Amino acid sequence: MLDGLELDAVPRGQRLACAQRARGLASRLTAMAAMWLATADAAQDSLRESGTPTTSWLAVRGGLSRREAAGFLHQARDLAERPEVAYAAAAGRISIGQARAIGTVLGGLGLEEDGQRAEAERILLGLAAAMDSDRLAKAAPEVLRAVAPDAAEEALERRLQRQSEAARRNRSLVFCRDGNGSITFNGSLPLVDGEAWLSILETYTESRRRTALEERDPLAEGLSPQQRRADALLDMIRAHRAGGPTSRAGRERPRVVVTVDYDKLRAEASGAGLIPDGQPVSAGDLRRLCCDAGILPAVLGGPGLVLDVGRSRRLVTPDLRVTLELRDGGCAFPGCEVRPAACEAHHVVPWWADGATALSNLILLCHHHHALVEPARYRTRDQWEVRIAADGIPEAVPPRRCDPDRVPLRHARHRPAHISPPGAGPPGAPGEGHHSRAREQGRPPDGGVREVASNAADHTAA
């Protein structure tokens, strides 16, 4: 069927839909191939057929390198160990990326009872209906608290401690001179230390980008994000060699923000810290951070409500900036994953229209989406808008050309994780189909606010 397909024959208005269907089919076929490969490997079919192990057979017959063949076989074996996850991926209820994330989480939970492992798998399959693979990979705390609530905190801290110790053992930096005038390198840093480095790097990146914007040079070289980060690293090196002060890029200093739930802080529970992109921090790393850090009172209470983050002032102060980053977690436009340090504070009601510089009137946006939603004094175009909903969460309102009903959308990081009660059916059970079809069609199942990860980003260029 594919051999006779003419790619150029797809009408212009149907290309995105065809691409999405093809992507879904590719994910399902990858899961099916993995299941068949794992079964064949367990039965040693390649040894009987060609006298070679499965990896060699894949390399020769599939045109894969030895490393690619070994990696695919490893993933196939992992998927085969969890039949329910494998069948969900093959049926298209979850993507192959979500299936891998579920396997990673299950492998790191350390649950010993079969019933708990089965329940954790069921919960993760349910969460996959509302979470992408990145968010699923961070869902271990929710799953543990649902499956083993009495031992969840201790189990989480043990897990975080193992990860922290492994990250420190595995730290590395490898570089080489490639003979063509460049030095290439790669490596691995423990999470907390790596976040501190990224915070400094992003400060330099943002400073350099804003300088270029101020110059407004139409002949300036267009730089890719990778080139901007490389330039930022070079700026760090030059500043160190010159012994000069580091750039602040509109902030007091580079810092890693750790948020702590008030009740856990009061009870001195371990494992309560979170760094900006949602990765948990072990109690040991948290104590080490507090030994040499400026502590900003940003204590969370209830569903992420900021109780105290310093004094309010007229301009976007560093304290207010941190509060905004804690709430939005990065660019608030649906589908955008730009980190907080590279974002700008946008006034929902503009300053020239008497808009206040307050959390209730500010949204964190990257430069691209800031320009996309910035209102003009005299409206001349049908454009995207942003607002703060009644529950304090940022929303993006699409233009009428994208959605005649202008149903607001939310970033996936603001979507609550719903864990169904024990005994509930897996994804695809009665009652799930309506919501799944609604998500595929890009509309909310109940006519309410859309909370999507990436649909909106596809329309921003319109």
pLDDT tens, 249-268? 444 444 556 666 655 544 44
CA trace torsion 439, 445, 448, 450 (10° rounding) = 0
Angle at 6 between CA 5 and CA 12, to 5 degrees: 120
Residues 24 and 98: their CA atoms lie apart, in Å, by 12
Average pLDDT for residues 340-366, to the nearest whole number? 84
pLDDT of 19 strictly over 70: yes
Q: Is the pTM of this model over 0.85?
A: no
So what's the pLDDT on residue 439? 39
Nearest CA to 340 among 431, 218, 229, 257? 257
pLDDT of 172 strictly over 80: yes
Confidence category of residue 123, pLDDT binned at 50, 70, 90 = very high
CA trace torsion 123, 125, 127, 128 (10° rounding) = 170
Confidence category of residue 276, pLDDT binned at 50, 70, 90 = low
Q: Which range (61-65, 238-242, 281-285) has the least confidence?
A: 281-285
Residues 297 and 262: their CA atoms lie apart, in Å, by 11
| Residue 446 or 31, more confident | 31
Average pLDDT for residues 67-73, to the nearest whole number? 89
Q: Tokens in use for 148?
A: 């083993």
So what's the pLDDT on residue 433? 38
Q: Tokens in use for 226?
A: 């990778």
pLDDT of 358 strictly over 70: yes
So what's the pLDDT on residue 257? 63
Residues 27 and 97: their CA atoms lie apart, in Å, by 8
Tell me the per-residue pLDDT of 378-421, one tens digit each, with 9 for 90 and over. 565 678 899 999 999 999 999 888 888 999 999 988 876 656 55
Average pLDDT for residues 44-72, to the nearest whole number? 88
So what's the pLDDT on residue 443? 39
Residues 105 and 81: their CA atoms lie apart, in Å, by 14
Q: Which residues face 259 on adjacent strands?
A: 274
Residues 71 and 66: their CA atoms lie apart, in Å, by 9
Confidence category of residue 114, pLDDT binned at 50, 70, 90 = confident
So what's the pLDDT on residue 414? 82
How many other C-beta atoms are found inside a 10 Å radius of the C-beta of residue 283?
18
So what's the pLDDT on residue 267? 47
Task: List the chain domain ranges.
Answer: 7-156, 172-242, 317-459
| Residue 338 or 206, more confident | 338
Q: Which residues face 433 on adjacent strands?
A: none
Cβ(120)–Cβ(159) below 8 Å: no
So what's the pLDDT on residue 420? 57
Confidence category of residue 271, pLDDT binned at 50, 70, 90 = very low
So what's the pLDDT on residue 250? 41
So what's the pLDDT on residue 223? 74
Confidence category of residue 31, pLDDT binned at 50, 70, 90 = very high
pLDDT of 308 strictly over 50: no
Q: Kindly report the average pLDDT of the chain as a whole number.
A: 75
- Identity of the amino acid at 151: A
DSSP state of 348: S
